[in-house]
Chain A
Amino acid sequence: MHFKARAGAKLADVKLQTALKKLQGNFVKGRADRITELDNFPEIRDAAAEIRDRALANLDVYLDAFEKNAAARGTVVHWAETHEDVNRIVREIAALHGVRKVVKSKSMVTEECGLNVALEAAGLEVVETDLGEYILQLAQEPPSHIVAPVVHKTRDEVSDLFADKHKAPRLTDIPALCREAREKLRPHFLSADMGVSGANFIIAETGSTLIVTNEGNGRMVTTLPKVHVAITGIEKVVPTLEDVATLIRLLPRHGTGQSITNYVSVTTGPRREGDSDGPEHFHVILVDAGRTKLIGGDFQEMLRCIRCGACMNHCPVYQSVGGHAYGWVYPGPMGSVLTPTYVGLENARDLPNAATLCGQCHVACPVKIPLPELLRKLREQQFERRLKPWPEVLALRAWGWLAARPALYAAVMRFKARLLRAMADERGMIRSLPFGSGWTDRRDFPAPQGRTFREMYKEARSKA
Chain B
Amino acid sequence: MSARANILARIRARQGKAVTPRAAERELVAQEIAARTAGPRPGMPADLVARFIERARNLSSTVDELPELQAVPQAVAAYLQAQSLQPVAVCWPAFAGLDWAGQGLRVEVRPAGADDLVGITGSFCAIAETGTLMLCSGGGSHAVTSLLPETHIAVVSRRRIVSGMEEGWALLRAELGAMPRAVNFVSGPSRTADIEQTVTLGAHGPYRVHLLLLP
What are the residues of chain B within 8 A of A149 when measuring CB–CB? 194
With both chains docked as a complex, state the minimum distance between the C-beta of A21 and any C-beta of chain B, in angstroms.
10
Asked if B179 and A58 make an inter-chain contact with CB atoms under 8 angstroms apart, the answer reads: no
Looking at the complex, which one of A47, A132, A263 makes contact with B184 (CB distance below 8 Å)? A263
Asked if B39 and A47 make an inter-chain contact with CB atoms under 8 angstroms apart, the answer reads: yes
Instruction: Return the chain A residue nearest B113 by Cβ.
Output: A190
What are the residues of chain B within 8 A of A292 when measuring CB–CB? 7, 10-11, 14
Query: Known: A61-B29, A174-B200. Is A275-B181 also a contact (CB below 8 A)?
Result: yes
What are the residues of chain A within 8 A of B29 when measuring CB–CB? 58, 61-62, 65, 204, 239
With both chains docked as a complex, state the minimum distance between the C-beta of A40 and any C-beta of chain B, in angstroms.
5
What are the residues of chain B within 8 A of A265 when measuring CB–CB? 182-185
With both chains docked as a complex, state the minimum distance between the C-beta of A180 and any C-beta of chain B, in angstroms.
11
Query: Interface with A: B80-88, B96-104, B137-145, which one?
Result: B137-145
Asked if A214 and B186 make an inter-chain contact with CB atoms under 8 angstroms apart, the answer reads: no
Asked if A288 and B203 make an inter-chain contact with CB atoms under 8 angstroms apart, the answer reads: no
Asked if B139 and A40 make an inter-chain contact with CB atoms under 8 angstroms apart, the answer reads: no
With both chains docked as a complex, state the minimum distance between the C-beta of A173 and any C-beta of chain B, in angstroms.
10
State whether the Cβ of B73 lies closer than 8 Å to any Cβ in chain A: no
Asked if B166 and A245 make an inter-chain contact with CB atoms under 8 angstroms apart, the answer reads: yes
Instruction: Return the chain B residue nearest A176 by Cβ.
Output: B200
Chain A residues touching B, range: 35 or more
Q: Count residues on chain B whose CB falls below 8 Å from chain A CBs.
A: 73
Among A177, A266, A297, the most chain B Cβ lie within 10 Å of the Cβ of A266
Rounded to whole angstroms, the CA-CA distance of A215 and B206 in the bound complex is 9
B109-132 to A contact mask, C-beta < 8 Å, 1/0: 001001000000000000000101
With both chains docked as a complex, state the minimum distance between the C-beta of B36 and any C-beta of chain A, in angstroms.
5
With both chains docked as a complex, state the minimum distance between the C-beta of A462 and any C-beta of chain B, in angstroms.
58
State whether the Cβ of B42 lies closer than 8 Å to any Cβ in chain A: yes
Rounded to whole angstroms, the CA-CA distance of A269 and B111 in the bound complex is 20
Among B137, B169, B178, B181, the most chain A Cβ lie within 10 Å of the Cβ of B181
Rounded to whole angstroms, the CA-CA distance of A277 and B90 in the bound complex is 15
Asked if A246 and B198 make an inter-chain contact with CB atoms under 8 angstroms apart, the answer reads: no
With both chains docked as a complex, state the minimum distance between the C-beta of B192 and any C-beta of chain A, in angstroms.
5
Instruction: Return the chain B residue nearest A135 by Cβ.
Output: B194
With both chains docked as a complex, state the minimum distance between the C-beta of B166 and any C-beta of chain A, in angstroms.
5
State whether the Cβ of A336 lies closer than 8 Å to any Cβ in chain B: no
State whether the Cβ of A244 lies closer than 8 Å to any Cβ in chain B: yes
Rounded to whole angstroms, the CA-CA distance of A245 and B172 in the bound complex is 14
Among A63, A219, A259, the most chain B Cβ lie within 10 Å of the Cβ of A219
**Which residues from 135 to 173 on chain B have a C-beta closer than 8 Å to any C-beta of chain A?**
137-139, 142-144, 147, 164-166, 169
**Which residues from 172 to 206 on chain A have a C-beta closer than 8 Å to any C-beta of chain B?**
174-175, 177-179, 182, 185-186, 189-190, 204-206
State whether the Cβ of A410 lies closer than 8 Å to any Cβ in chain B: no
Looking at the complex, which one of A174, A216, A240, A267 makes contact with B181 (CB distance below 8 Å)? A267
Query: Known: A276-B111, A278-B182, A292-B10. Is A242-B194 also a contact (CB below 8 A)?
Result: no
State whether the Cβ of B3 lies closer than 8 Å to any Cβ in chain A: yes
Rounded to whole angstroms, the CA-CA distance of A270 and B32 in the bound complex is 27
Rounded to whole angstroms, the CA-CA distance of A186 and B143 in the bound complex is 17
State whether the Cβ of A64 lies closer than 8 Å to any Cβ in chain B: yes
State whether the Cβ of A154 lies closer than 8 Å to any Cβ in chain B: yes
Among A23, A39, A223, the most chain B Cβ lie within 10 Å of the Cβ of A223
Rounded to whole angstroms, the CA-CA distance of A217 and B193 in the bound complex is 14
With both chains docked as a complex, state the minimum distance between the C-beta of A125 and any C-beta of chain B, in angstroms.
19
What are the residues of chain A within 8 A of B43 when measuring CB–CB? 39-40
A44-88 to B contact mask, C-beta < 8 Å, 1/0: 100110010010001111111100000001000011110001000
Asked if A63 and B8 make an inter-chain contact with CB atoms under 8 angstroms apart, the answer reads: yes
Rounded to whole angstroms, the CA-CA distance of A244 and B29 in the bound complex is 17
Instruction: Return the chain B residue nearest A270 by Cβ.
Output: B181
Looking at the complex, which one of A174, A261, A266, A295 makes contact with B196 (CB distance below 8 Å)? A174
Asked if B202 and A262 make an inter-chain contact with CB atoms under 8 angstroms apart, the answer reads: no
Rounded to whole angstroms, the CA-CA distance of A51 and B32 in the bound complex is 11
State whether the Cβ of A272 lies closer than 8 Å to any Cβ in chain B: yes
Asked if A130 and B10 make an inter-chain contact with CB atoms under 8 angstroms apart, the answer reads: no
Chosen A-B contacts, 11 in total, with CB atoms closer than 8 Å, are A26-B193, A60-B11, A61-B25, A222-B182, A223-B143, A240-B33, A263-B186, A268-B182, A272-B138, A278-B143, A278-B181
Chain A residues in contact with chain B, CB under 8 A? 19, 22-23, 25-26, 37-41, 43-44, 47-48, 51, 54, 58-65, 73, 78-81, 85, 129-132, 135, 148-151, 153-155, 158, 174-175, 177-179, 182, 185-186, 189-190, 204-206, 208, 214-217, 219-220, 222-224, 234, 239-246, 248-249, 256, 259-272, 274-278, 286, 288, 292-293, 295-297
